[in-house]
Amino acid sequence: MAQANSSIQPVIIAGAGPAGSVLALALAKKNIPVIMLEKHHSLPIDLRASTFHPPSLEMLDELGVAQEMIDMGLIVDRYQYRDRKTNEVAEFDMSLISDETKFPFRLQLEQYELTHIIGRHLQQYAHVEVLFEHEVVDFEQDDDGVTAIVNTPTGEVTVHGSFLLGCDGASSNVRKAAKINYGGFTYDEKFLVASTSFPFEEVFDNLSYVNYVSDPDEWCVILRTEKIWRVLWPTDPQETDTDKYLTDEYIQQRLHHLYDKEGDFDIGHRTLYNVHQRVAETYYRGRVVLVGDACHINNPLGGMGMNGGLHDAFNLASKLIDIIENNSDHLQHFAHYDRQRKDLAVEFVQNHTIANKKMMESTDPDEQAKRQKMFMETAADPDKAKAFIMERAMINCVRESLLVE
């Protein structure tokens, strides 16, 4: 069992989602004591992000968990933009980036599999404490450390440490307690996601496991994870009865619009969720640092939300290790983290995801034809296709962020 350096204070992590879990493991591996506080009674199992891009897999490989994930997940080495009106398919072959990364593919795997894998790894470190039913509600800080104020089933407790990492998701209490503004906007429409075990790959010609589908009536995204197919649709922003979107009747209609089979589809989970584009005004306040959805959120088109959070976590972990091991100046490191990750989140992820949504939702036939033509031409030219994949696989943005002084 790895031993911590008992002379150093623990780092407090609020939230055991992907960002918090990765930070906990990265610090634990360097013998830094960690207390991870999670408000739920166990690691949540919910269907949220399911795509891991190559840079995330490279980082997770350094932590020793990528192979386990690959063994459980689905390797997707091509993805498609399909036009249902013309039946044209633009296919991007990710082997074009095999000279750039050890992982020239998207790994489709539920995000909760990552947190569960890391949860098992963390058990081997005596210097890591994971406390469930511990919700951080506030904090106090001074020059020496941070005290988190935590709600538990038996009342309020305080937890003291060197730093507090707010990995507590989009509604982050840590961000609110730090009085950090979360500027941006929320789209009028919600997104609906439903899963089914129906084998779409058997009825659509040459279907890849990740597909962005344009359609004169409604666009959708069809994704396969290791277990199921998931379909994501936009909903009508004018509709006041949004409950109807979660009914069997409505989802059957949507699925039959996609493929008109006889009889009902088997429907698994369903979620209707608000879609936001927001970035925190700063990623730190003294000894308190925000990571992942706590400091940026975007629409899911392109699968950049969780991946961006993982990239934050790795970036911050290396800085915290330097701060703790070498007693280097934390404010300088956090300001650097803010420049590398916040400005990038605004410029790259926000712009890309907003553009992806705009492009998918246009129903103007000329626009749709122009868009599909662009995809077809790009996919057919290996240089252009490689450049396209490098952007969307988030390789360029991770490399560029590391160049920011």
Ligand X SMILES: Cc1cc2nc3c(=O)[nH]c(=O)nc-3n(C[C@H](O)[C@H](O)[C@H](O)COP(=O)(O)OP(=O)(O)OC[C@H]3O[C@@H](n4cnc5c(N)ncnc54)[C@H](O)[C@@H]3O)c2cc1C
Residue 309 near ligand X by CB under 6 A:
yes
CA angle 19, 21, 25 (to 5 degrees): 120
List CB contacts of 380: < 8 A, sequence separation 6 or more: none
Contact segment (CB under 6 A) with ligand X among 123-131, 165-173, 331-339, 380-388 equals 165-173
Residue 18 near ligand X by CB under 6 A:
yes
Residue 293 near ligand X by CB under 6 A:
yes
* Per rule CB under 6 A, count of chain residues that contact ligand X: 35
Q: In angstroms, what is the minimal distance from the CB of 309 to ligand X?
A: 4
The whole-angstrom separation of Cα 79 and Cα 194 is: 20
364 near 313, Cβ under 8 Å? Answer: no
DSSP letters, 233-268, are EE--TT-S-GGGGGSHHHHHHHHHHHS--SSPPPEE
Residue 14 near ligand X by CB under 6 A:
yes
Please, which residue, 342 or 368, has the CB nearer to ligand X? 342
- How far from the centroid of its chain's Cα atoms is residue 209's Cα? 18
Hey, which residues between 32 and 51 contact ligand X (CB under 6 A)? 37-40, 44, 48-51
Q: Which of 10, 104, 234, 303 binds ligand X (CB under 6 A)?
A: 303
Binding mask of the shown chain, residues 105 to 124, with x at each position contacting ligand X by CB under 6 A = ------x-------------
Please, which residue, 313 or 385, has the CB nearer to ligand X? 313
Give the other-Cβ count within 10 Å of 252's Cβ: 15
The whole-angstrom separation of Cα 339 and Cα 96 is: 31
Please, which residue, 96 or 394, has the CB nearer to ligand X? 394
303-315 in b/e form (b: 16+ CB < 10 A) is bbbbbbbbbbbbb
- Which residues are bridge partners to 288 per DSSP? 164, 285
Contact segment (CB under 6 A) with ligand X among 97-105, 304-312, 356-364, 380-388 equals 304-312
List CB contacts of 56: < 8 A, sequence separation 6 or more: 307, 310, 311, 394
Please, which residue, 39 or 127, has the CB nearer to ligand X? 39
Residue 304 near ligand X by CB under 6 A:
yes
Give the other-Cβ count within 10 Å of 377's Cβ: 12
Residue 305 near ligand X by CB under 6 A:
yes
Q: Which of 255, 306, 397, 398 binds ligand X (CB under 6 A)?
A: 306
Please, which residue, 223 or 324, has the CB nearer to ligand X? 223
Q: In angstroms, what is the minimal distance from the CB of 344 to ligand X?
A: 15
Q: Which of 292, 366, 345, 318 is nearest to 114 (CA)?
A: 292
Please, which residue, 40 or 102, has the CB nearer to ligand X? 40
Q: In angstroms, what is the minimal distance from the CB of 168 to ligand X?
A: 4
Please, which residue, 259 or 273, has the CB nearer to ligand X? 273
Please, which residue, 134 or 386, has the CB nearer to ligand X? 134
Please, which residue, 226 or 367, has the CB nearer to ligand X? 226
Give the other-Cβ count within 10 Å of 236's Cβ: 12
Distances (CA, A) of 327 to 143, 171, 322, 323: 14, 32, 7, 5
51 near 307, Cβ under 8 Å? Answer: yes
Q: In angstroms, what is the minimal distance from the CB of 303 to ligand X?
A: 4
Q: Which of 4, 19, 107, 114 binds ligand X (CB under 6 A)?
A: 19
Q: In angstroms, what is the minimal distance from the CB of 87 to ligand X?
A: 26
Contact segment (CB under 6 A) with ligand X among 62-70, 276-284, 292-300, 397-405 equals 292-300
Q: In angstroms, what is the minimal distance from the CB of 114 to ligand X?
A: 10
Q: In angstroms, what is the minimal distance from the CB of 23 to ligand X?
A: 9
Give the other-Cβ count within 10 Å of 139's Cβ: 25
Q: How many residues does the chain have?
A: 405
Contact segment (CB under 6 A) with ligand X among 16-24, 84-92, 370-378, 387-395 equals 16-24
Helix (H) or strand (E) holding 156: strand 155-161
Residue 307 near ligand X by CB under 6 A:
yes
Backbone CA torsion sign across 190, 191, 196, 198: positive
397 near 312, Cβ under 8 Å? Answer: no
The whole-angstrom separation of Cα 23 and Cα 318 is: 10
Residue 136 near ligand X by CB under 6 A:
yes
Residues that bind ligand X (CB under 6 A): 14-20, 37-40, 44, 48-51, 111, 135-136, 167-169, 173, 271, 273, 292-294, 300, 303-307, 309
